[in-house]
Structure 1
Amino acid sequence: MNLALTVLNITAPVFLLAAVGFFWVKLGFEYRVQFVTRMAMTLAVPCLIFVALMQTEIAPEALAALSLASFVAYAIVMLATFLVVRLVGLDSRTYLAPLIFGNTGNLGLPLALFAFGEVGLGYAVVVFAVMAILSFTVGIWMVAGAGSFKKVISEPLVAATLLGALFLWQGWETPEFLTNALELVGQMAIPMMLITLGVAVARLETAAMTQAVLLSVVKLVICGAAGWAAAVAFGLDPIAAGVLIVQVATPVAVTSYLIAEKYGADAQPVAGLVVASTLLSVIALPLILAFVI
């Protein structure tokens, strides 16, 4: 009973905020996703990442181990997903990237914060950064047939991660007034991302949901197993292991749909995956949290 209540306390704020965005759109109110997303990814999330890394008390060695474990986990997911897509005969341009990369920002960061506190958030931003780097390079190559290393370097969240890691390694801190300002801006990120997630899901049009549900279950099993295997292989501490498993197992990100639209892949099946996997996560993520806590 206590465990169930703990998991509910962790997950309820996440899905309630997403529900705010969902019903906001359904009631006919305006919500400019492009503006909010740009503000979140250009300003709020980089500030959140930088302050979280700068202030974390996690040993640099532990963060390095988690970074390597994250790359290995995603490598396992890529291999397993490639085999599934080939065996089933699906279009790799459409299905491969969405089944690999999850919503480590909108869902993963707040879940890590609510479940494991500030230490968990420090770990989560590392996994988020690894996913972002892979998504903007390998992920875009899967969809468009060309990588985008220049885009990775220009992403504010990548710069914030590298700068935060430098401050952590050197033991530096920004002046208190600047830290307070950055922290205040960063606090916008999580509610903005969750509400935007709900808005985006509410606006998606989907079809062929049976296939989307089955693929979402396959993605969840592969990603959860890969996260657990990488955590065990690198001997991560319980919090780092829990964060890695949760982050890798997050549902398909809305950005996968946007990338499919931009680069000419079949976007409607991706939209179905976003909706199906997000709805599945309402049940699956609490169960995963119950397992890792």
Structure 2
Amino acid sequence: MNLILTVLEIVAPVFLVAGVGFAWVKAGFEYRIQFVTRLAMTLAVPCLIFTALMKTEADLADLAKLTLAGTTAYLAVGVIGWGLLKATGLSLRTYLAPVIFGNTGNLGIPLALFAFGQPGLEAAVVMLAVSAILSFTWGIWIVAGEGAFGKMIKEPMIWATLLGAVFLIMDWETPVVLTNTLDLIGQMAIPMMLLTLGVAVARLTPGRVVTAIWLSVVKLLVCAAIGWGIGLAFGLTGTLFGVLVLQMAMPVAVTAYLLAEKYEADSSAVAGYVVVSTLVSVIGLPILLALLL
């Protein structure tokens, strides 16, 4: 009973805040998702990443191990996902990137914070950075068939990650006034990302729902299993192990739909995948957290 209550205390606030965003749009109120997303991804999330890395007390070797484990896990999901889609005849351009990359930002960071505290947030930021770098390169190449290095180097999240890593390695700190300012801006990130997730789900028009249902269940099970196996193989324990498994099991990110729309993949099918996988995660993630805690 205590474990169930603990899991609910972790999961409920996350999905309730996303639900506020969903209800806000359904009630007919305005929500400028492009503006809020740009504000979050250009300012709030980079500040969150930088301060989390700069102030972390985690061992540098552990974070490096988590980075390598996360990269390996994404590559493993890519190989298995490619085989699955080939076997079922589904489009690689449409489905492979969504299968590989989950919602490590909007959903993964808040869940890691509530489940594992500040150390969980710091580890989740590392996984977000790994996911962002791979999705802005490999992910765009899958969807568009072209390189994306130019886009990657323009992303504030990437530079925040690199700068935060430098400060961490060199044991530097910004002046207190600047640190407090960056902290304050970074605190906007989590509620904004959750509200935007709810708004985006409310506005998407799902397509190919039957395919999305079985593919969402498969993604959750396969990605969680790969994260679990890779975590054990790399000797991760405690918070690092939990965050790796949790972040790998995230549902499809809304950005997958945006990429499909931009590069003329089947955006309607991806929209269905985003919505259904998010709904599946409402059931699946609490069960996974119960196993991890």
TM-score by length of 1: 0.99
Alignment-mate amino acid for residue 231 of structure 2: A
Look up the SS of the partner of 1:154 in the other structure. coil
| Matched residue, 2:41 | 41
Task: For 1:51 and 1:85, locate their aligned partners in 2 and report how far apart those are by CA, in whole Å.
Answer: 39
Alignment-mate amino acid for residue 4 of structure 1: I
Task: For 1:184 and 1:261, locate their aligned partners in 2 and report how far apart those are by CA, in whole Å.
Answer: 33
| Matched residue, 1:174 | 174
Task: For 1:4 and 1:261, locate their aligned partners in 2 and report how far apart those are by CA, in whole Å.
Answer: 39
| Matched residue, 2:78 | 78
| Matched residue, 2:10 | 10
| Matched residue, 1:286 | 286
TM-superposition CA deviations, 1:205-238 (whole Å, max 9, x none): 1133121110001111111011111101110121
Once the two structures are TM-superposed, the CA of residue 166 in structure 1 deviates from its matched residue by 1.1
CA contact (8 A) 1:85 1:92 kept: yes
CA contact (8 A) 1:216 1:280 kept: yes
| Matched residue, 1:139 | 139
Task: For 1:158 and 1:208, locate their aligned partners in 2 and report how far apart those are by CA, in whole Å.
Answer: 34
| Matched residue, 2:31 | 31
| Matched residue, 1:210 | 210
Written as runs of structure 1 = structure 2, the 5 A alignment for 1:45-60 is 45-60=45-60
CA contact (8 A) 2:207 2:270 kept: no
TM-superposition CA deviations, 1:254-278 (whole Å, max 9, x none): 0100100000101011001001000
Answer with 39-48 or 222-231: which moved more: 222-231
CA contact (8 A) 2:18 2:197 kept: yes
| Matched residue, 1:256 | 256
Alignment-mate amino acid for residue 140 of structure 2: I
Once the two structures are TM-superposed, the CA of residue 85 in structure 1 deviates from its matched residue by 0.3
Once the two structures are TM-superposed, the CA of residue 169 in structure 1 deviates from its matched residue by 1.1
Once the two structures are TM-superposed, the CA of residue 109 in structure 1 deviates from its matched residue by 0.4
Let me know the Cα RMSD of the aligned residues.
0.7
Look up the SS of the partner of 1:69 in the other structure. helix
Task: For 1:90 and 1:261, locate their aligned partners in 2 and report how far apart those are by CA, in whole Å.
Answer: 18
CA contact (8 A) 1:136 1:147 kept: no
Task: For 2:207 and 2:261, locate their aligned partners in 1 and report how far apart those are by CA, in whole Å.
Answer: 16
Counting aligned pairs with the same residue, the percent is: 64
Task: For 1:170 and 1:207, locate their aligned partners in 2 and report how far apart those are by CA, in whole Å.
Answer: 49
TM-score by length of 2: 0.99
Aligned length: 293
Look up the SS of the partner of 2:153 in the other structure. helix
Task: For 1:272 and 1:231, locate their aligned partners in 2 and report how far apart those are by CA, in whole Å.
Answer: 30
Task: For 2:207 and 2:105, locate their aligned partners in 1 and report how far apart those are by CA, in whole Å.
Answer: 26
Q: Tell me, yes or no, if structure 1 residue 244 matches structure 2 residue 233.
A: no
Written as runs of structure 1 = structure 2, the 5 A alignment for 1:53-132 is 53-132=53-132
Alignment-mate amino acid for residue 289 of structure 1: L
Once the two structures are TM-superposed, the CA of residue 142 in structure 1 deviates from its matched residue by 0.6
Look up the SS of the partner of 2:163 in the other structure. helix
CA contact (8 A) 1:36 1:196 kept: yes
Look up the SS of the partner of 2:206 in the other structure. coil
Task: For 2:154 and 2:210, locate their aligned partners in 1 and report how far apart those are by CA, in whole Å.
Answer: 39
Can you give the 5+ residue segments of structure 2 that lack an aligned partner in the other structure?
none
Once the two structures are TM-superposed, the CA of residue 153 in structure 1 deviates from its matched residue by 1.7
Once the two structures are TM-superposed, the CA of residue 72 in structure 1 deviates from its matched residue by 0.5
Look up the SS of the partner of 2:94 in the other structure. helix
TM-superposition CA deviations, 1:152-174 (whole Å, max 9, x none): 12211111111111111111111
Task: For 1:13 and 1:147, locate their aligned partners in 2 and report how far apart those are by CA, in whole Å.
Answer: 38
